[in-house]
Structure 1
Amino acid sequence: MSGEAPEGHRSGFACFVGRPNVGKSTLTNALVGQKVVITSDKPQTTRNAVRGIVHREDGQLVLVDTPGLHRPRTLLGERLNDLVMTTWAEVDVVAVCFPADEKIGPGDRFLVNELAKVRRSVKIAVATKTDLASPDRLAEHLMQIAALGEETGTEWAEIVPVSSVSGEQIELLAELLVGLMPEGPPLYPDGDLTDAPDEVLAAELIREAALDGVRDELPHSIAVVVEEMLPREDRPADKPLLDVHANLFVERESQKGIVIGRRGARLREVGSAAREQLEAMFGTKVHLDLHVKVAKEWQRDPRKLRRLGF
């Protein structure tokens, strides 16, 4: 692909980090302009480093989405934290997200202290969700972010307020991020929006649909594995159909009942919501075959974690 880049073209990797649920995935989607990362109002929903790719005249930005860093309570939690630290050390820029509608707390301090150990990457601070804060609150928030940088010995290359919902300053953030990348040709072909395998994206969308509406402690306990995804044979060329067979794993029988719902009603809703998302993503009709299975205590079992892709 080299040789295609105009003079001064920049390309590289950036990742958004922050406590769980601070708007990292929504920000990735806003920058890419298309839904590529699972977003949910549940903390801990992102598990794969799904990349969104921003193509611009002056550069290409590859966004790596990491799980939120938190104090781990299970083996899965430790694996996720290891993944975060590895990602931070490998990217060109780490952007820390601080939601403007919340005060900076111990979780933020823990995270920025951990980040201070990573020497190589450039660090910027992003004040997210500015549409939820008054001008005074935002000014105070930006000062607190600057102070946190000083306290932890973290040098912010930039502090940028943005709103993914209104689109405010999203373009500016993209420019700043590209400006911080090393010079070089594009890393991905024009038109690619993510390099995650289709099965991973499909599993994330199904998982999002399953989490939506389950208001208790299920988020950590749901894993989705797409066992098979194939275009159905003997279909006319103008009416293709994609067969998706997926298993939804929970840890206990009682959780299985919650996900399936009374007489299967809940699972039908999940299937129908997920199918819509899958059809939008793949641009074709989808037949989704969804089964709920129990993998006891999978978050604490290394063998089961491996089988479920962690």
Structure 2
Amino acid sequence: MTTPFKAGFAAVVGRPNVGKSTLMNELLGQKLSITSAKPQTTRHRIHGIFTAPDHQIVYVDTPGLHLGGDKSINRYMNRAARSAFSGVDVILFVVEAPKFTREDRAVAQQLEQADVPVILLVNKIDKIKRKADMMPYLQMLGQAVKFDTLIPVSAYRKSGLDLISKEVLARLPEQPAIFPEDYITDRSTKFLLAEIVREKLMRSLGEEVPYGATVAIEQFEMDPEQDRWLINALILVEREGQKRIVIGDKGERIKEMGRQARMDMVAMLEKRVHLELWVKVKQNWSDDDRALASLGYTDL
């Protein structure tokens, strides 16, 4: 007797910087969502698709739900995060041990209205060094969060991942695959290329610039004579001072970011890449709804 095929959506939600994107990448077994140590690295909702012979899990990576920040881009990210609360089969609520902040509590309160199972993932569990500190923390979570089951995990150490997949699968409906089996995401290649460059920005720069910067791919075409991809990426910042910081002394910083981004692009496209990065000032782009829409910040 054949096993019935199961498929469905699992939203990964939580406040910024709890490790949602790293966790999803580990569950997929490959890097899809960009990561950095800075909060609000993820700005868009991204579907990561894992297909096995008897099931397909579509993980929905989301921006971190955050308090404060009244710019248009902050409102966009919160809308993108909340949109994942509906239309999914299970919600993975990620918190970071041993913390539980006001933003965690705000997410927990919104999840009380969810009509699907909630799996609480206590990430970075390796940060709790003494077992005696674990029980009070878990008891506090039990009172603060409405959930079906709790799984301690460490994305960094890759522990607890099999149990997450098992618990998600148990809650998915029997139905055909939602996406073709060779899909790993529903996002375009140009979107993924822009995210690669933005990751290098987030990782390379200090606190001031990354939140005022975004990336748009202006050229993405094959050069048949050279058998390589030609890619032009435009980095938009909001002030002249930010442009100087991105470029760096004698262009060294942007050159290094381009080198790192090109390596990731070669790995993704499995072909040689010629990458050019440009920096342009577009004042107040992050608080301009029309500018955001033109840059791909549109509600899906």
What's the TM-score, normalizing by structure 2?
A: 0.94
Question: Which AA in structure 2 matches 1:293?
Answer: K
In the TM superposition, 1:223-238 aligns within 5 A as 223-235=214-226
Shift in Å at residue 210 of structure 1?
1.4
Q: For residues 127-172 of structure 1, give each alpha carbon's deviation from its aligned partner in whole angstroms, at most 9, with x where no partner exists.
A: 01122222333333322221112xxxx3x11111111121111011
2:171 to 171, 180, 196: 180
Task: Find the counterpart in structure 1 of residue 189 from structure 2.
Answer: 198
User: In 2, Cα distance between the equivalents of 1:18 and 1:303?
Assistant: 28
User: In 1, Cα distance between the equivalents of 2:162 and 2:141?
Assistant: 21
1:289 matched to 2:285? The reply is no
Gaps (5+ residues) in structure 2? Answer: none
Task: Find the counterpart in structure 1 of residue 228 from structure 2.
Answer: 241
Three-state SS of the structure 1 residue aligned to 2:148 is: strand
Shift in Å at residue 232 of structure 1?
0.8
- Aligned 8 A contact 1:21 1:41 in 2: yes
- Aligned 8 A contact 1:44 1:219 in 2: no
In the TM superposition, 1:1-310 aligns within 5 A as 7-71=3-67, 72-100=69-97, 102-118=98-114, 120-134=115-129, 135-149=131-145, 154=146, 156-235=147-226, 240-310=227-297
User: In 2, Cα distance between the equivalents of 1:60 and 1:140?
Assistant: 36
- Aligned 8 A contact 2:44 2:77 in 1: no
- Aligned 8 A contact 1:13 1:93 in 2: yes
User: In 1, Cα distance between the equivalents of 2:159 and 2:211?
Assistant: 32
Q: For residues 92-119 of structure 1, give each alpha carbon's deviation from its aligned partner in whole angstroms, at most 9, with x where no partner exists.
A: 111111111x32121111111122233x
Three-state SS of the structure 1 residue aligned to 2:50 is: strand
- Aligned 8 A contact 1:125 1:145 in 2: no
Question: Which AA in structure 2 matches 1:266?
Answer: R
What's the TM-score, normalizing by structure 1?
A: 0.91
Q: Classify 1:7/1:76 alpha carbon distance in 2 versus 1 (closer, same or farther; 3 Å).
A: same
Q: For residues 242-298 of structure 1, give each alpha carbon's deviation from its aligned partner in whole angstroms, at most 9, with x where no partner exists.
A: 111110011111000100001111100110011111111111111111101111011
Three-state SS of the structure 1 residue aligned to 2:172 is: coil
Three-state SS of the structure 2 residue aligned to 1:212 is: helix
- Aligned 8 A contact 1:14 1:91 in 2: yes
Gaps (5+ residues) in structure 1? Answer: 1-5
User: In 2, Cα distance between the equivalents of 1:196 and 1:181?
Assistant: 23
Three-state SS of the structure 2 residue aligned to 1:90 is: coil
Q: Classify 1:255/1:108 alpha carbon distance in 2 versus 1 (closer, same or farther; 3 Å).
A: same
Deviates more, 1:50-59 or 1:258-267: 50-59
Three-state SS of the structure 2 residue aligned to 1:73 is: coil
User: Identity of counterpart residues, as a percentage?
Assistant: 35
